[in-house]
C-alpha cells in the first residue's frame, strides 16, 4: 500500500516552527525583544517550554545566542538570516488575525511601514510582480530525484 501523504515544504516548516510558543518567540525577536525574560513575559510561554523551543531554534540555525553579560553569563536570542526569513509568515498570520479574529475592539496593534502607511502584507510573484490571488497558484510536481 502506498501513502498518499504529500511531501512538501509546508510540512517541513511546521515541523520546525509550527507551535504557538515557537512562533510567538520569533515574533518577539522580530520586534526587538531578545532577552529570555522579556520573550517569556510577552509570549506568556512557560519557561521550560520556551527554553526547549529556543534550544531547538538555535540547533536548527534559526536563532543564535549572543552573550551580553559575563558574570553571571547571560545571553540574548537573535534571529539569523534564516530566522528573519520567517517575517512574511508572521506578518501574514498577524494580518489574518487582524482581519478575521480581532472582534469589535479591532486589532490590538497598528503596524506601520517605513513609508508611513499602515502595513498590509501581500503575496506577489517574484518573476512578474503581480499580486497573487486565491486560485492563481498551482502545484507543479517535482521529479522524485529532486525532492
Domain ranges of the chain: 9-146
E runs forming strands in 1-118: 63-69, 74-79
Residue 37: phi and psi, rounded to 5, are -60, -40
- Look at phi and psi of residue 8 and say left if phi exceeds 0, alpha if psi is from -120 to 50, else beta: beta
Beta strands in 10-131 (DSSP E): 63-69, 74-79
Q: Which CATH class is domain 9-146?
A: mainly alpha
Q: What is the pLDDT of residue 1?
A: 57
Percent of the chain with pLDDT over 70: 95
Confidence of residue 2 (pLDDT cuts 50, 70, 90): low
Instruction: Grade residue 146 by pLDDT with cuts at 50, 70 and 90.
Output: low
Give the Cα separation of 82 and 144 in Å (integer): 26
User: pTM above the 0.75 mark?
Assistant: yes
Amino acid at each position: 500500500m502506498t501513502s498518499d501523504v504529500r511531501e512538501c515544504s509546508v510540512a517541513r516548516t511546521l515541523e520546525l516552527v509550527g507551535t504557538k510558543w515557537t512562533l510567538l518567540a520569533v515574533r518577539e525577536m522580530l520586534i526587538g525583544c531578545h532577552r529570555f525574560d522579556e520573550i517569556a513575559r510577552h509570549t506568556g510561554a512557560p519557561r521550560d517550554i520556551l527554553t526547549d523551543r529556543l534550544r531547538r531554534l538555535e540547533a536548527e540555525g534559526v536563532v543564535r545566542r549572543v552573550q551580553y553579560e559575563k558574570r553571571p553569563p547571560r545571553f540574548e536570542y537573535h534571529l539569523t538570516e534564516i530566522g528573519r526569513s520567517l517575517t512574511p509568515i508572521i506578518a501574514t498570520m498577524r494580518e489574518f488575525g487582524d482581519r478575521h479574529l480581532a472582534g469589535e475592539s479591532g486589532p490590538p496593534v497598528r503596524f506601520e511601514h517605513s513609508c508611513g502607511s499602515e502595513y498590509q502584507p501581500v503575496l506577489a510573484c517574484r518573476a512578474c510582480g503581480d499580486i497573487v490571488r486565491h486560485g492563481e497558484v498551482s502545484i507543479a510536481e517535482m521529479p522524485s530525484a529532486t525532492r
